[in-house]
Amino acid sequence: MPRVALATYDPRPEPHLDRDLPVLLAALRGAGAGADAVSWDDPEADWSAYDLVVIRSTWDYSWRAAEFLAWAERCGRVTRLANPPAVVRWSTDKRYLGDLAAAGVPVVPTRFLAPGDPADLPEDHEYVVKPTSGAGARYAARYLPEDGGAARAQLARMHAEGLTAMVQPYMRGIDAGGERALQFFGGRLLHASRKGAVLAPGTAYDAKKVPHPGLERWTPRPAERAVAERALAAVPGAPELLYARVDLVDGDEPGEVRVMELELVEPNLFLFLHPGSVDTVRDAILAAAAGR
């Protein structure tokens, strides 16, 4: 049986911040595979000893993006990395939303403000400011037009740290319909979930947020599945993706669905919410490790 590494940032045993990690380890070992949880930045790790390295909960990567991308490239040279290094590099920077829009995928309208760009902020609608590389709503906040001073202070902080900002209209559909996450594994829809709004009015950009409020199971509508599949088909090079999560929100028009973001690096699988998906994930990982 193959050897599989689940890359994380905290390989300690339970209780673990990644609730799925011990479940996956047990499932893989129960099938006879050699499976280890390994910190992605462990200098002693021998990645070549594994048939497959699956990026799972490397949840500190956005703070150390250059280091993480260099690791992905090194790892991909000595073994199979899922997802592939080229996908990791493309999807760790949310400027990929521009690529998706150019390919005709309906995305949340987004402007990008790099360090040195003027702080051109909306004056007629509520909006969100967040970094192009981030996770867990880090450095994300929503603003009313009259909150320009606070928003510009956030931009100044981000730009001083070398971060490029995204400015998006606040999608009010989130307040009623939430944000839906469609999870794909092994090229097929695995399951879907829905969560409530993460960004509350008046919450500071550097405050700690609950990343998945009100998380629940969700049955995706045909329109949601169609948009998710269009987004994945637009990933450059049509790479083989072991896993993918597409986060969707309602647009302004009735029935309109837009892509909020793609999670192609370390998406939370929410297996604790969908325990029936564990065997499917296990089998897809084993097949990938065997080169199938």
pLDDT tens digits for range 198-238: 888 888 888 888 878 899 999 999 999 999 999 999 999 77
pLDDT reported for residue 63:
83
What residues have CB less than 8 Å from 170, skipping those under 6 apart?
125, 126, 127, 128, 142, 199
| Mean pLDDT computed over every residue of the chain | 93
pLDDT reported for residue 15:
56
Range of weakest confidence among 87-91, 92-96, 135-139, 204-208: 135-139
The whole-number average pLDDT for the span 113-139 is 88
The whole-number average pLDDT for the span 119-138 is 87
Cβ-contact 141, 134 below 8 angstroms: no
CA gap 129, 205 in Å, rounded: 8
pLDDT reported for residue 17:
80
Asked if pLDDT for residue 14 goes beyond 70, the answer is no
The whole-number average pLDDT for the span 181-196 is 96
Q: Would you give the distance in Å from CA 117 to the centre of its chain?
A: 26
pLDDT reported for residue 12:
64
Helix (H, G, I), strand (E, B) or coil at 144: coil
Give Dmax over CA atoms of the chain in angstroms.
60
Helix (H, G, I), strand (E, B) or coil at 37: strand
pLDDT reported for residue 249:
97
What residues have CB less than 8 Å from 273, skipping those under 6 apart?
193, 215, 216, 217
Taking alpha carbons only, the member of 142, 154, 123, 287 closest to residue 209 is 142
CA gap 159, 152 in Å, rounded: 10
The whole-number average pLDDT for the span 1-26 is 85
pLDDT tens digits for range 29-79: 999 999 999 999 999 999 999 999 999 999 888 888 999 999 999 999 999
pLDDT reported for residue 243:
97
**How far, in Å, are 1, 5, 46, 57, 182 from residue 34 at the CA level?**
7, 8, 14, 19, 29
pLDDT reported for residue 218:
98
Structure tokens at 190: 């695995």
pLDDT reported for residue 245:
97
Of residues 226 and 255, the one with the higher pLDDT is 226
Percent of residues, the chain, with pLDDT higher than 70: 96
Which residue's entry shows tokens 């990008």? 112
Percent of residues, the chain, with pLDDT higher than 90: 80
pTM above 0.85, yes or no: yes
pLDDT reported for residue 79:
97
